[in-house]
Structure 1
Amino acid sequence: MTDTLLARLNEGMILLYAASVLFYFIDFLQNNRKAGKTAFWLLSIVWILQTAYLVYFMWYTGAFPVLNNVQGLYFYAWVLVTLSLVLTKLLKVDFLIFFTNVIGFSIVAIHTFTQTFQQSAELSGKLVSELLIIHITMAILSYGAFSLSFVFSVLYLFQYHLLKKKKWSKWLLRIEDLSKLDYLAYIHNIIGVPMLLLSLILGIIWSYASLETLYWTDPKVLGSIVLLCLYGYYLFIRIVREQKGRIAALLNTASFLVLLINFFLLGSFSRFHWFS
């Protein structure tokens, strides 16, 4: 009973941590104070849950949680979350806070998978399966965000074509203006990129925990890494180089075509993915 409750606690922390990283990413790119506050409070809940677990562990065992690698990982994750909360209040360095939390999320996920080996076979298998579902769900949700972004980019290119050819028709009235279409495509990519990143982190950890290796040359793995790089480059040119409009829309459209290839074609050649 206690093991099951602790397993649920770790799963809940992973979900809350993932949501916190997503909002920190939005704050990092857009300097969105509302998103930053939401990320801070979500991370605060994670810290409270982690602290409660540490207090329970020390009360139950009478030892400080650094006696082995599994315990050390959890304490390390707690330290990272604590530092992140302190940095948020003192320094407000969005870049540092975001990547600190990516590392912290990875450590929490590693700990969750690692501790399954110390539990019963039934609970261990159930926990690994549920975390695999989280990995797949996050990947699909990121694909959904990229799909909507693709639609807005296609509408942008269509609207751009009509305006360039001076084809004044009812379509111009039914489609949003170019700047809004460009912004909506950008916003959905901001949501999709961190979700895909966290999904990849969970997938890598899961493969080592359940398969004891990761096939880095697997077509689906390589395709997912390329996809993350493409959408990362889209955000780079959109924010750093300030290249908006047609160039960004074309890159976004090309990235989505790679997404389709990765999902349908490369997935069929994968050695261990669920749709292979």
Structure 2
Amino acid sequence: MLDELLARLHEGMVILYALCILLYFIDFVQNDQKVNRIAFWLLAIVWVLQSSFLALYMIDTGRFPVLTIFEGLYFYAWVLVTLSLAINRMLRVDFTVFFTNILGFVIMVIHTFAPVQVHSEAISEFLRSELLVIHVTMAFISYGAFTLSFVFSLLYLIQYKWLKEKRWNKRLQRLTDLQRLETLSYWSTIIGVPMLLLSLILGLQWSVISLDGVPWFDSKIIGSFFVLLLYGWIIYLRLRKGIFGKRLAMWNSAAFLFVLINFLTTSRLSTFHVWYS
């Protein structure tokens, strides 16, 4: 019972960490200080939980937790969170904070869901199952965000066409303005990208502990990384290349086609994503 409770607490900490990374990504691309403060305090909660577990473990074992690889992973994750908090508070280097937390999240996921550290086979199976659930849930959230981005882009293109043709009708009046549609599409992409990234991290960890290795050439894995790179490129086009409006909406629409291909086609060709078939 205690092992299951601790497993649940660690899962909650991973989810909280994922939310923190999402907010740091938003701050990274938008330079939003309010979001940065929320992310900082969420990360502080993660640090408190980590420190508490670390202290309890040291009291229970009577030694510093660095003698095994899994103890070292947890301590390493704690160090990364500590450094992230210090950098965020003192140096204000947001680029470093975001990518340090991505690495910290990877290390924490490896430690939390590694079956080697769990003595009970039932708890080990429970962790694998929960890891899969979190992975799939985050993937669907990212797909949902990309779908909304596509819908807003499609409405943008439709309204843009009607305005060019000067087709003033009631349907046009029911659509919001072009700038708002573009902003909503962009923000949907901003949410979808880090969620897909975190989902891939969790999925790779699940494959390591469940399939004894990562099938890197699996169609689903290749397709998911391609979708991630494609939407990352769209964010880059807006932030660095100054591409807005119709061109960006067309890029979003084209990217969503690859989301559909990845979800409907490559899943059926995958050797282990059987729940999508």
Conserved 8 A contact 2:18-2:105:
yes
Aligned counterpart, 1:197: 197
Alignment of 1:221-240 (within 5 A): 221-240=221-240
Conserved 8 A contact 1:116-1:128:
no
C-alpha offsets along residues 228-270 of structure 1, whole Å, 9 cap, x if unaligned?
A: 0110000000111110111110110011111011101111111
CA distance in 2, matches of 1:203, 1:109: 10
Question: TM-score, normalization: structure 1?
Answer: 0.98
Letter in 2 for 1:258: F
| Identity of matched residues, % | 55
Q: Tell me by how many angstroms 1:115 deviates.
A: 4.6
2:174 is aligned with 1:174: yes
Alignment of 1:107-126 (within 5 A): 107-126=107-126
Aligned counterpart, 2:213: 213
Q: CA RMSD in A?
A: 1.0
2:45 is aligned with 1:45: yes
Aligned counterpart, 2:276: 275
Gaps of at least 5 residues in structure 1 are none
Q: Tell me by how many angstroms 1:40 deviates.
A: 0.7
Question: TM-score, normalization: structure 2?
Answer: 0.97
CA distance in 2, matches of 1:136, 1:17: 17
Conserved 8 A contact 2:70-2:117:
no
How many aligned positions are there?
Answer: 276
Provide the secondary structure at the position in 2 that maps to 1:163: helix
Alignment of 1:1-276 (within 5 A): 1-273=1-273, 274-276=275-277
Conserved 8 A contact 1:116-1:123:
no
Would you identify which runs of 4 or more consecutive aligned residues in structure 1 move more than 4 Å? none
Conserved 8 A contact 1:88-1:97:
yes
Q: Tell me by how many angstroms 1:94 deviates.
A: 1.1
Conserved 8 A contact 2:207-2:213:
yes
C-alpha offsets along residues 40-79 of structure 1, whole Å, 9 cap, x if unaligned?
A: 1111111011000000000000010100100000000000
CA distance in 2, matches of 1:169, 1:116: 64
CA distance in 2, matches of 1:87, 1:119: 37
C-alpha offsets along residues 110-129 of structure 1, whole Å, 9 cap, x if unaligned?
A: 11122555321111001110
CA distance in 2, matches of 1:244, 1:11: 39
CA distance in 2, matches of 1:27, 1:52: 28
CA distance in 2, matches of 1:212, 1:68: 21
Provide the secondary structure at the position in 2 that maps to 1:215: coil
Provide the secondary structure at the position in 2 that maps to 1:65: coil
Letter in 2 for 1:266: T
